[in-house]
Amino acid sequence: MTDRRDFLKVAGVTTAMLAADGTLREALAKVMRPPRPAGPTMDPATRELLMEALNAAKLAGAGYADVRIGRQRQNFVFTREHQIQNVVDTDTMGCGVRALVDGTWGFAATQQLTKDAVAGAAREAVAIAKANRIARDRPVELLPSPNYPDVSWQSAFKVDPWTISVEEKADLLLRANAEALKVENVKFVNSALFLVKDERNFANTDGSVIAQVFIRSFPTLTATAVAADRSDFQRRSADIAPMGRGWEYVLDSDLVGRAGGWGEDAARKLSAKPVEVGRYDLVLHPSHLWLTIHESIGHPTELDRAMGYEANYAGTSFVAPPEKMLGKLKYGPEFMNIQGDRSQEGAISTIGYDDEGVKPDDFLIIKNGIFNDYQTTREQAGWLKWWYDQQGRPTRSHGCSYSQGWSDVQFQRMPNVSLLPGAEDHSFDDLIAATDNGIAIEGDGSFSIDQQRYNAQFGGQVFYEIKGGKKVGMLKDVAYQMRTPDFWNSMDMIGGKSSYQMGGSFFDGKGQPGQSNGVSHGAVPARFRQINVLNTGRKA
Amino acid sequence: MSGSILSRDEAQALLQRLMGFSKAERVQVSVNSSIRANTRFAANQLSTSGSVQNTGVVIQSWFGARHAVTTTNDLSEASLRRAVESSEALARLAPEDPEDMPLLGPQTYLPVHAYFDSTANLSPADRAQAAMSALAQTRSSSDLMAAGFIVTGGTAAALANSAGLFAYHANTGANYTLTVRTSDGTGSGWAGADHPDWTQLDFKAVGERAIQKARASRNPVAIEPGRYTVVLEPQAVGDLVQLVLFYGDARSADEGRSPFVKESGGNKIGEKILDQRVTMVSDPQDPQLLSQPFDGQGLPLNRREWIKDGVLQQLSYTRFWAKKQGKEPTGGPGSVKVPGGTASLDSLIASTERGVLLTRLWYLREVDPRTILYTGLTRDGTFLIENGKISKALRNFRFNESPLFILNNLDGMGRAERLAGTEAGGDVVMPVLKVKDFNFTSLSEAV
């Protein structure tokens, strides 16, 4: 019988082995052990590599360069019913160099953490930038940013998941599965833990040297109920948000305590009433609404999308061109305020400094219902100087540069984008009580939106029919279709401070080559009037 | 590209060395070595561009039925030993897997030649030059904006285990996608090309096609959503039809949670589920596919007919489920092709009295797994067909449709081509299709 102490002993042995080896890479691995609360300290060897690459880039002709040496570890545990399917530990390290030469970007990355290799990557980044000069139209201009010569930051975790044994992780999931399987007709349960530890060391030619570490945790569970006559099956996924927290969050999520309830929801969906097509008032829980915010506010207010930089993949935006939208577009009612930030404790996009050395600020994307600002980087914020001047605000990046890891070039990614609470402290139940004929939706389901973010369709996890202010029964096969500006302008009631909660995505895709980003969305419950609801049930 | 991917001998040596560190009862090791380079442009100019080299190993160790996986890209001796030990430590702590299967012994694989020097030897200047083929045209026209992506690279994948199995596959890839929008914001056209061999990509043709679609799609008009006869170009077919095999797991069907559930028990193998013109195959050696001939456990992936003449021939059986059900393990579909017919796109349009022509689809998401019902939108070239001719540009639609429904409502099938950009990706070859009663549920203003 092994226990957690045995696991730690194993970890201790491997750490001792590292110290004995003495290469730069091993020295790097050594400092990348669980950080102290004050934030990680960059070891001299890593700093030396960062400087080597920066110097090589400058010597080769870069006007600006930044270097990132990163290590990303992931730990996954997958289960079904009473068994473990797999336990996976991944570990990747390397160095990425971005160089701006004569207004054109180049990027190169290498897994080899030697002076020669990182300098080689720097020279290759410069060479790529030079080769691209023939296709330049307008030179890229980078906004100046304050430098941070020696700073560090770490995310808000109490218990590093890498100190928890796989046995303990598996045991938690299997106990949760067992609870869901106690429910009649629940035949299958899949659960998993996704844990990420990301260590980022950064330096740029402005003189910043930044060490950061963050942890992300995401427990999931899906119960599947099958009708006795095999005529139907229904699923219910847990509404647990991924968060920028540690093992303490996994425990707080109370999978074991809540799994039976999710199982019961799956079973009840088998006999739920198919929804009648029509227009309904929708009362949307934060566990659902976060995804609608993400798709219909988060993505269209990315400035690169609005300017056509994502046209070949994710698309452009209806919130364009900026001069016709900023201060003019009525996105929603006056009580609607949407904040962009990378500062909410425990949110996934929260960080001390972005991937081009900017300390992010909090900003209102939508202010009193009116479109007020875009998500920006140092390359982009200058495009909006006219607007910031008009507003008497400084022209600065909001700190939204992000790369998924050392091997990918950084670009504009979403900060936490959240619907701020209303003045009155209404709860989800208060909104239901105020609704005569509607549908309440909890949990996120199917989602799809067009390439300019106008037309969207969303499902959910559980749906309740509301009659005369009361939930009168469960519905199934519900999806709503909406046009973004009409939808948000139909919002007539929102929850208050005590109903605010986070949702989020662990796997938000953007860019070519595709990169994945984690992002949180805080939300309060909200009501939307007369929304078009479909019935999605068919027979094969 | 600078550097190179691992050769067969190098990969084998690395994997043997890794297995030499193992103290587990059983071990499986694999390596993935890649070089990727890309050039991206938007708003009529280069945006980002880069090159990445990476080699990572995966170690799976077993003690009895306990197993765990560790990966690392640190190839120093100390790190490789540490990764092997870590997978062993995790495996000892992991609960027993009641579905664990013994390792496969040595296997024979189909030879697949998917590595092309023409792709492997490209330089950043070659890619920038290729990007210029579209940029030169859009910059010199006052009404066009181009955004595109060129990605090239090489990958070597190898797998070995303590039962003596060794597998190796090297391939190159070259992919080009281009979106051209009109400056007035009312038109958008897309085209793409994909092949392991760079010389097979026709940059000029892709540019002309995207520009033609962009200009033709300007000032679209709205028609009522509803059920229409639709001609789907291969790209649009691929996005929907590719999904069928994702639901082809035999176990899910046997368990009662799949579109292929038979209500009386078991699954629908042997039943006619689609129009008899539809056949769906995976074939690593097909010159249009050239996919990897083994899966993650080293199981050979040979040519396989999943659907023949509309009849479900085969679902995918994992080794565990095959053993339990007394079947042959199939592995998953490593690639997919619907061979199609000989009709051209133009002839399918010409035979349509009133219908809608679709260039590509976007943001497909599952709505109902019981029927593979998906929602999504049309994009980058949606046109009205009247009296056998394209008559107008149309506003885009949202649809709620299933590949199972459209492949039962078939009205015509044309030539198949290799696709450059399905949402799910992979090696995909699909024909042009004409189908009846395609279900558009709302309009989108998006261009």
Provide the 3-class DSSP secondary structure of residue B274: coil
- A37 and A146 housed in the same domain: yes
Q: In this predicted model, what pLDDT tens digit does every residue of B415-441 receive, in sequence order?
A: 999 999 888 889 999 999 999 999 999
Token output for B256:
């009662």
Of A300, A310, A105, give the one whose Cα is nearest residue B43. Answer: A310
CATH number at residue A66: 3.30.2290.10
Give residue B238's pLDDT.
Answer: 97
Q: Could you give the CA distance from residue B70 to residue A220 in angstroms, rounded to a whole number?
A: 21
- A181 and A296 housed in the same domain: no
- A254 and A329 housed in the same domain: no
Strand A478-483 and strand A455-458: pairing?
antiparallel
- A223 and A296 housed in the same domain: no
Nearest to A536 among B179, B368, B442 (CB): B368
Residue pairs spanning A and B at CB distance below 8 A = 305
Kindly write down the DSSP assignment for every residue of A3-61, as one continuous string: -HHHHHHHHHHHHHHHHHH--HHHHHHHHTSSPPTT-----HHHHHHHHHHHHHHHHHT
Token output for B356:
């809608």
CA distance B1 to chain A (A): 10
CA distance B358 to chain A (A): 15
Please, what's the largest Cα pairwise distance for chain A?
Answer: 73
Mean pLDDT throughout B205-233?
98
Q: By CB neighbour count within 10 A (0-12 exposed, 13-18 middle, 19+ buried), where does A44 fall? A: exposed
Q: Is residue A282 part of a domain?
A: yes
Domain end marker among A246, A270, A294: A270
Please answer yes or no on whether A107 and B48 come within 8 Å at the CB atom.
yes
Nearest to A135 among B52, B68, B135 (CB): B135
- Please work out, in degrees rounded to the nearest 5, the angle formed at the alpha carbon of residue A367 by the alpha carbons of A364 and A369: 140
Nearest to A312 among B42, B51, B371 (CB): B42
B184 touches chain A (CB under 8 A): no
- Please work out, in degrees rounded to the nearest 5, the angle formed at the alpha carbon of residue A146 by the alpha carbons of A140 and A149: 115
- A259 and A300 housed in the same domain: no
Nearest to A448 among B71, B78, B376 (CB): B376
DSSP state of A361: -
Nearest to B148 among A23, A312, A448 (CB): A312
Which alpha helices (H) appear in B268-389, and where do they start and end?
Answer: 319-325, 345-350
Q: Which residue matches tokens 């050696």?
A: B285
Strand B280-282 and strand B304-308: pairing?
antiparallel
Cβ(A476)–Cβ(A462) below 8 Å: no
The helix or strand, by DSSP H or E, that contains position B92, with its residue range, turns out to be helix B77-93
CA distance A503 to chain B (A): 20
Q: What separation, in Å, do the N-terminal and C-terminal C-alpha atoms of chain A show? A: 50
Nearest to B97 among A84, A127, A134 (CB): A84
Residues from chain B that touch A84, judged by Cβ atoms under 8 A, are: 94-97
If you measure CA to CA, which chain A residue comes closest to B398?
A455
Please write down the HEC assignment for all residues of B5-27: CCCHHHHHHHHHHHHHCCCCCEE
Please answer yes or no on whether B67 and A513 come within 8 Å at the CB atom.
no
Q: What separation, in Å, do the N-terminal and C-terminal C-alpha atoms of chain B show? A: 36
Nearest to A309 among B47, B132, B370 (CB): B47
State whether the Cα torsion B46-B48-B52-B58 is positive or negative. Answer: negative
Q: Could you give the CA distance from residue B428 to residue B414 in angstroms, rounded to a whole number?
A: 16
Mean pLDDT throughout B261-270?
93
Please answer yes or no on whether A111 and B69 come within 8 Å at the CB atom.
no
Please answer yes or no on whether A7 and B50 come within 8 Å at the CB atom.
no
CATH 3.20.20.70 given to domain B8-214? no
Residues from chain B that touch A7, judged by Cβ atoms under 8 A, are: 89, 93
Q: How confident is the model at residue B3 (pLDDT cuts 50, 70, 90)?
A: low
- A214 and A279 housed in the same domain: no
Q: In DSSP terms, which residues pair with A225 in a beta bridge?
A: A186, A234
Q: In DSSP terms, which residues pair with A464 in a beta bridge?
A: A440, A474
Please answer yes or no on whether B46 and A174 come within 8 Å at the CB atom.
no
Please answer yes or no on whether B379 and A451 come within 8 Å at the CB atom.
yes
Please, what's the largest Cα pairwise distance for chain B?
Answer: 72
Nearest to A84 among B94, B181, B261 (CB): B94
CA dihedral B209, B214, B220, B222 (to 10 degrees): 60
Number of Cα atoms under 13 Å in the Cβ half of residue A304: 25
Distances in Å between the alpha carbon of B36 and those of A127, B119, B169, B194? Answer: 16, 11, 17, 15
B51 touches chain A (CB under 8 A): yes
Token output for B301:
């992936």
Q: Which residues of B284-318 are buried (b: 16+ CB within 10 A; e: fewer)?
A: bebebbbbbbbbebbbebbebebbeebbbebbbbb
Q: What is the ipTM of this complex?
A: 0.93
Cβ(A398)–Cβ(A160) below 8 Å: no
Cβ(B131)–Cβ(B146) below 8 Å: no
Length of chain A measured in residues = 540
State whether the Cα torsion A337-A340-A343-A349 is positive or negative. Answer: positive
Residue B301 has pLDDT above 90, yes or no: yes
Residues from chain A that touch B90, judged by Cβ atoms under 8 A, are: 87, 89, 166
**A41: Cα separation from own chain's centroid:** 26
Q: In this predicted model, what pLDDT tens digit does every residue of A459-504 receive, in sequence order?
A: 999 999 999 999 999 999 999 999 999 999 999 999 999 999 999 9
Please answer yes or no on whether A25 and B47 come within 8 Å at the CB atom.
no
- A366 and A238 housed in the same domain: no
Q: Which residues of A242-280 are buried (b: 16+ CB within 10 A; e: fewer)?
A: bbbbbbebbeebebbebbbebbbbbbbbbebeebeeeeb
Residues from chain B that touch A93, judged by Cβ atoms under 8 A, are: 73-74
Which domain does A76 fall in, by range?
4-270
Please answer yes or no on whether B124 and A481 come within 8 Å at the CB atom.
no
Number of Cα atoms under 13 Å in the Cβ half of residue A498: 7
Distances in Å between the alpha carbon of B35 and those of A109, A222, B52? Answer: 10, 37, 6
Of A262, A273, A275, give the one whose Cα is nearest residue A480. Answer: A275
Nearest to B97 among A83, A124, A513 (CB): A83
Provide the 3-class DSSP secondary structure of residue A402: strand
Cβ(B78)–Cβ(A118) below 8 Å: no
Give residue A15's pLDDT.
Answer: 29
Provide the 3-class DSSP secondary structure of residue A486: helix
Q: Could you give the CA distance from residue B20 to residue A325 in angstroms, rounded to a whole number?
A: 63
Q: Could you give the CA distance from residue A419 to residue A344 in angstroms, rounded to a whole number?
A: 13
Q: In this predicted model, what pLDDT tens digit does every residue of B182-198 receive, in sequence order?
A: 999 999 999 999 999 99
Residue ranges per structural domain of chain B: 8-214, 220-447
If you measure CA to CA, which chain A residue comes closest to B176?
A312
Please answer yes or no on whether B73 and A447 come within 8 Å at the CB atom.
no
Please answer yes or no on whether B79 and A25 come within 8 Å at the CB atom.
yes
- A407 and A312 housed in the same domain: yes
Of B34, B33, B91, give the one whose Cα is nearest residue B59. Answer: B91
- A306 and A408 housed in the same domain: yes
**A441: Cα separation from own chain's centroid:** 22
Residues from chain A that touch B376, judged by Cβ atoms under 8 A, are: 448
Please answer yes or no on whether A534 and B129 come within 8 Å at the CB atom.
no
If you measure CA to CA, which chain B residue comes closest to A458?
B367
Provide the 3-class DSSP secondary structure of residue A492: strand
Please answer yes or no on whether B124 and A534 come within 8 Å at the CB atom.
no
Q: Is residue A260 part of a domain?
A: yes
Residues from chain A that touch B402, judged by Cβ atoms under 8 A, are: 538, 540
Please answer yes or no on whether B124 and A128 come within 8 Å at the CB atom.
yes
Residues from chain A that touch B82, judged by Cβ atoms under 8 A, are: 14, 17-18
How many separate domains does chain A show?
Answer: 2
Of A238, A188, A189, A234, give the one whose Cα is nearest residue A218. Answer: A238
Domain end marker among A270, A288, A309: A270
CA distance A509 to chain B (A): 12
Nearest-Å Rg of the Cα atoms of chain B is 24
B363 touches chain A (CB under 8 A): yes
Nearest to B263 among A138, A229, A537 (CB): A229
Residues from chain A that touch B262, judged by Cβ atoms under 8 A, are: 230
Q: Could you give the CA distance from residue A102 to residue B59 in angstroms, rounded to a whole number?
A: 45
- A390 and A514 housed in the same domain: yes
Q: Could you give the CA distance from residue B49 to residue A68 in angstroms, rounded to a whole number?
A: 16
- Please work out, in degrees rounded to the nearest 5, the angle formed at the alpha carbon of residue B144 by the alpha carbons of B139 and B147: 80
Nearest to A107 among B45, B50, B55 (CB): B50
Please write down the HEC assignment for all residues of A117-177: HHHHHHHHHHHHHHHHHHHCCCCCCCCCCCCCCCEEEECCCCCCHHHCCHHHHHHHHHHHH
Mutate to test the interface with A, among B51, B149, B150, B402 (most CBs of A within 10 A): B51
- A244 and A122 housed in the same domain: yes
Of B156, B162, B157, B158, give the one whose Cα is nearest residue B67. Answer: B162
The helix or strand, by DSSP H or E, that contains position B208, with its residue range, turns out to be helix B203-216
Give residue A540's pLDDT.
Answer: 60
Give residue A28's pLDDT.
Answer: 35
Domain end marker among A270, A294, A328: A270
Q: Is residue A476 part of a domain?
A: yes
- A247 and A278 housed in the same domain: no
Amino acid identity of A368? N
Please answer yes or no on whether A411 and B181 come within 8 Å at the CB atom.
no
Please answer yes or no on whether A452 and B36 come within 8 Å at the CB atom.
no
Please answer yes or no on whether B368 and A538 come within 8 Å at the CB atom.
yes
Residue B349 has pLDDT above 60, yes or no: yes
Per-window interface: B 261-290 vs A, CB < 8 A:
261-263, 265
Which alpha helices (H) appear in A277-380, and where do they start and end?
Answer: 286-293, 303-306, 322-325
Residues from chain A that touch B369, judged by Cβ atoms under 8 A, are: 233, 235
Mean pLDDT throughout B27-32?
98
Of B445, B418, B441, B447, give the one whose Cα is nearest residue B431. Answer: B418
A210 φ, ψ to 5°? -130, 130
- Positions in chain A short of pLDDT 50: 1-37
Residues from chain A that touch B440, judged by Cβ atoms under 8 A, are: none
Q: Could you give the CA distance from residue B160 to residue B20 in angstroms, rounded to a whole number?
A: 12
* pTM tops 0.90, yes or no: yes
Number of Cα atoms under 13 Å in the Cβ half of residue A236: 28
Q: In this predicted model, what pLDDT tens digit does every residue of B54-71 receive, in sequence order?
A: 999 999 999 999 999 999
Nearest to B446 among A129, A409, A450 (CB): A450
What mean pLDDT is reported for chain B?
Answer: 96
Q: Which residues of B57-96 are buried (b: 16+ CB within 10 A; e: fewer)?
A: bbbbbbbebbbbbbbbbbbbebbbbbbbbbbbbbbbbbbe
